[in-house]
Structure 1
Amino acid sequence: MTAATSFPCMAGDLLLNVVDDPGVMTVHADSAFRSVADVLRAVREKPRSPTVGPTGIGSDDHLAMLLLKRQAGVKLTPAPFSGSAENYRAMIGCRIRICDRNPGEGSRGAAGVDPVRMLGVMSRTRWEMAPDLPAFRKQGYAIDMVPLRIVGPEAFAAELMQFGGEFRTPWADMPWKN
């Protein structure tokens, strides 16, 4: 995708961000991959392998895969799915080798529910729910894939900004926010 947009990437007013949901790279627990470096080493030895399952074309997971391909100078084979449940089942069933998704979904392995291992989190810092999981930046790749939610265009109508503000105040006071 190379089409130019008519607005800069950060042009907009954030109304509300309910969750920071960075991407994670996950593999089956039986996988030989223990790090992002292991994945990239395998791809350099055998280009276009292994298959990576993002949650859909144009999804944050797909964009993260494209960033990794560009930064690492490798060719990965995408196997996009129509959602996170589908790509997760494909990884658990060993039909794809890597599943890009979000930490809440990837942490099922850490909880002992599914045979899953997370290799890295795509944020500037480690994820506090998995403090031993290294950020991609610590592994040499500047990939911060933390989607924001509910963004409006610059100079959004004052009434709608007020609407967003009405959510901000009570949301900030939620006891579980930290």
Structure 2
Amino acid sequence: MIRNAPLSRRRALALGVALALAGAALPAAAQTFPDKPLKLIVNFPPGGAADVIGRAVAQAMGESLKQQVIVENRPGANGNIGAEAVAKSPADGYTLLMSSGGAMTVNPFLYRQMPFDAEKDLVPVASVARVLVFLMAHPSVPANSVAEFVAYAKAHPGKLSYGSAGQGSSPHLAAEMFTRQAGIQATHVPYRGAAPALTDLLAGQVQFMFDPGPGLKHAAEGKLRLLAVGSPQRASQLPNTPTLAESGFPGFDADTVFGIYAPGGTPAALVARLHDEVNKAVASAKVQEVIKGIGGEPLALTRQAFIERQNADRARFGKFIQEAGIKAE
């Protein structure tokens, strides 16, 4: 029948058949995916919140997908190095990024030139957790509350220093927000991740930091003093720890959303499949235990809600970075 049709009609019919076959191919690919191990790149060093959560999610996803999910740490440039590696990987669903939202919402305001387009080269797949930051001080600082800490800092201007996971990281931005609102002076000491910053806090090399959770176990042992959480609400795991808003800093919000991203151009069917797999992992008891163990809150948003939250964080943090004049070093 196609053979006897006019040329233009034959072409239209052939094009229609091709498009139908192409449309059917994506769901089929998603159904057979994966047929080899996946790689989950964490763009921060081992031991930090992104790494701890990422490894738990990778294990749960591997068990569900019946394929190994290999975790690879590629830290540096406040997450840009690992994010760039994923952005430039094949868009086939086999290479994913586990990151704080900072690489997408903060870095474009810190760096004059980004090695990738944060809004085009990476596709938000699924949110994983709302990660809180906790104001912690070394026991050498004679303060058992935020008010006492601020009073001590004002009485000793320039004496205190604080660590962070790097210039523009969420712990750094939280500390900048805090010191500016409190009207205190402190020296910023950036590290290549929250884990090495925490090591120096425990050693007393820096006097305080906004820790994304791994330091809570040390606070429980009395090695650090937990003074407040930098979130609008108290942490569900630490109901007796006040927020900074309750401690005289109204509106203080330094929460970030950690999530999974894929290279831009990844087929929609694969993104949907991966979204479901990540949500399944986040719902598992093991992953929830890990997230809550560092004071975070499991967060399995719809993709649209995840994208909207990312856009809101980009506007919120971008405004603060520009007003504070923070730049990547």
TM-align CA RMSD: 3.2
Deviates more, 1:137-146 or 1:62-71: 137-146
| Correspondence for 1:77 among 177, 184, 187 | 187
Instruction: State the distance in 2 between where 1:168 and 1:84 align.
Output: 24
Partner of 1:7: none
Deviation at 1:161, TM superposition (A): 4.7
Partner of 1:127: 235
Instruction: State the distance in 2 between where 1:2 and 1:169 align.
Output: 31
Matched, 1:54 2:169: no
| Correspondence for 1:97 among 195, 204, 207 | 207
Contact 1:55 1:100 in 2 (8 A): no
Please, what TM-score do these two structures have when normalized by structure 1? 0.76
Alignment of 1:24-63 (within 5 A): 24-63=134-173
Inter-CA distance 162–138: structure 2 relative to 1 (3 Å threshold): same
Contact 1:42 1:50 in 2 (8 A): no
Instruction: State the distance in 1 between where 2:282 and 2:111 align.
Output: 38
Secondary structure in 2 aligned to 1:61? helix
Instruction: State the distance in 2 between where 1:128 and 1:21 align.
Output: 12
Partner of 2:280: 170
Partner of 2:253: 144
Inter-CA distance 173–84: structure 2 relative to 1 (3 Å threshold): closer
Q: Please state which structure has a larger fraction of its residues in helix.
A: 2
Amino acid at match of 1:80: P
Deviation at 1:135, TM superposition (A): 0.9
Secondary structure in 1 aligned to 2:280? helix
Residue correspondences, number: 171
Instruction: State the distance in 2 between where 1:126 and 1:167 align.
Output: 29
Secondary structure in 2 aligned to 1:44? helix
Secondary structure in 1 aligned to 2:180? helix
Instruction: State the distance in 1 between where 2:269 and 2:182 align.
Output: 45
Between structure 1 and structure 2, the one with the greater Rg is 2
Deviates more, 1:131-140 or 1:78-87: 78-87
Secondary structure in 1 aligned to 2:226? strand
Instruction: State the distance in 1 between where 2:238 and 2:214 align.
Output: 10
Contact 2:126 2:278 in 1 (8 A): yes
Q: Which runs of 5+ in 2 are unaligned?
A: 1-108, 113-122, 289-297, 299-329
Q: Deviations over 1:45-91 (max 9, x none)?
A: 23223111112111100000111122223322112222223222222
Deviates more, 1:160-169 or 1:68-77: 160-169
Alignment of 1:147-162 (within 5 A): 147-150=256-259, 158-159=268-269, 161-162=271-272
Deviation at 1:35, TM superposition (A): 1.7
Partner of 1:20: 130
Instruction: State the distance in 1 between where 2:151 and 2:144 align.
Output: 11
Secondary structure in 2 aligned to 1:137? coil
Q: Which runs of 5+ in 1 are unaligned?
A: 5-12
